[in-house]
């Protein structure tokens, strides 16, 4: 009887350990197909929140060391609608694929602050910024201005993507800057549903006269 109990106990322990060695993972993207970084993700069960994490620059996340059971995965980020997904975790690695976040139409990002949007429906302006060698221009600053004192700002992420949320329809000046590159100025027209898929390129700054003198010395 003792041998049977020990064997059964070992099997149960191994099953528990196997569950805790696995993970729940996935990626968070917006409606335009761009990865969304720094989404606050919580995994909860009937006892409350058991694990939390943030999505990375590429939108990916992984939550590890879990016991088997039913969980609720919640995600939230300012400017987007929060989401919930039920997960029936049975050990191993559970991949949830791509989770989509929708822009919260009740909010407008203006000058870096989140304000209520009362008069106009917002859209999303998103795209990529690369240099002439087709490398991602990570860290570039993207500024959108309407000429009436309103502006929206974003920073290009590690995969070359940027997104500006809560942009009403209209004409705008788009300015992209990055150290070592020429400033990019572009006029764009944003529709009521936004403008996605912008492909922007930065040209390298030519060497200055001082740089040329140093090169020839």
Q: Could you report the per-residue pLDDT of 44-81, keeping only the tens digit for each? A: 998 888 899 999 989 999 999 999 999 999 999 887 88
Domain-terminating residue out of 101, 132, 157: 101
- Is there a single domain that holds both residue 155 and residue 174? yes
Q: For residue 142, give the nearest of 191, 100, 202, 194 by alpha carbon.
A: 202
Domain-terminating residue out of 73, 101, 129: 101
Q: For residue 155, give the nearest of 143, 168, 166, 139 by alpha carbon.
A: 139
Q: CA 72 to CA 84: how far, in whole Å? A: 7
Q: Is position 214 within any domain? A: no
Using an 8 Å Cβ cutoff, are 149 and 170 in contact?
no
pLDDT value, residue 9: 45
Using an 8 Å Cβ cutoff, are 120 and 168 in contact?
yes
3-state SS, residue 52: strand
> With bands split at pLDDT 50, 70 and 90, how would you rate the model's confidence at 27?
very high
Q: What is the extent of the structural domain holding 198?
A: 107-202
Q: For residue 143, give the nearest of 188, 102, 204 by alpha carbon.
A: 188
Q: What are the tokens at 88?
A: 């029936």
* Edge-to-edge strand list for the sheet holding 69-76: 48-54, 40-45, 69-76, 83-89
Q: Is position 187 within any domain? A: yes
- Is there a single domain that holds both residue 82 and residue 144? no
CA distances from 154 to 14, 130, 151 (A): 48, 15, 10
pLDDT value, residue 32: 81
User: Residue 60 sits in a domain of what CATH number?
Assistant: 2.60.40.10
Over range 150-167, report the average pLDDT: 88
CA-based radius of gyration for the chain: 24
- Is there a single domain that holds both residue 196 and residue 117? yes
Signed CA dihedral, 161, 202, 199, 171: sign only: positive
- Total tally of structural domains belonging to the chain: 2
Q: Is position 209 within any domain? A: no
Return the higher-pLDDT residue of 9 and 62: 62
Across the chain, mean pLDDT equals 80
Q: Is position 13 within any domain? A: no
- Is there a single domain that holds both residue 95 and residue 113? no
Domain-terminating residue out of 49, 71, 101: 101
Q: Is position 7 within any domain? A: no
pLDDT value, residue 29: 93
Q: Which residues pair with 142 in a beta bridge?
A: 154, 176
- Is there a single domain that holds both residue 30 and residue 47? yes
- Is there a single domain that holds both residue 116 and residue 193? yes
- Is there a single domain that holds both residue 51 and residue 113? no
């Amino acid at each position: 009887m003792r041998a049977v109990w020990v064997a059964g106990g070992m099997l149960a322990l191994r099953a528990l350990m196997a569950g805790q060695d696995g993970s729940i993972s996935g990626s968070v993207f917006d409606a335009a197909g761009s990865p969304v970084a720094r989404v606050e993700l919580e995994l909860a069960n009937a006892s409350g929140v058991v694990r939390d994490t943030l999505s990375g620059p590429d939108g990916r996340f992984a939550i590890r060391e879990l016991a088997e059971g039913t969980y609720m995965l919640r995600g939230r980020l300012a400017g987007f609608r929060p989401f919930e997904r039920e997960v029936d975790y049975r050990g191993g690695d559970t991949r949830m694929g791509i989770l989509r976040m929708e822009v919260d139409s009740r909010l407008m990002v203006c000058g870096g602050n989140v304000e209520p949007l009362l008069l106009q429906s917002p859209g999303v302006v998103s795209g990529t910024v690369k240099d002439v060698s087709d490398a991602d221009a990570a860290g570039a600053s993207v500024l959108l201005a309407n000429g009436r004192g309103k502006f929206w700002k974003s920073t290009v992420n590690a995969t070359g993507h940027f997104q500006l949320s809560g942009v009403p329809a209209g004409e705008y000046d788009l300015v992209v800057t990055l150290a070592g590159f020429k400033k990019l100025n572009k006029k764009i027209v944003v529709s009521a549903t936004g403008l996605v898929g912008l492909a922007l390129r930065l040209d390298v700054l030519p060497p200055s006269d001082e740089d040329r003198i140093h090169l020839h010395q």
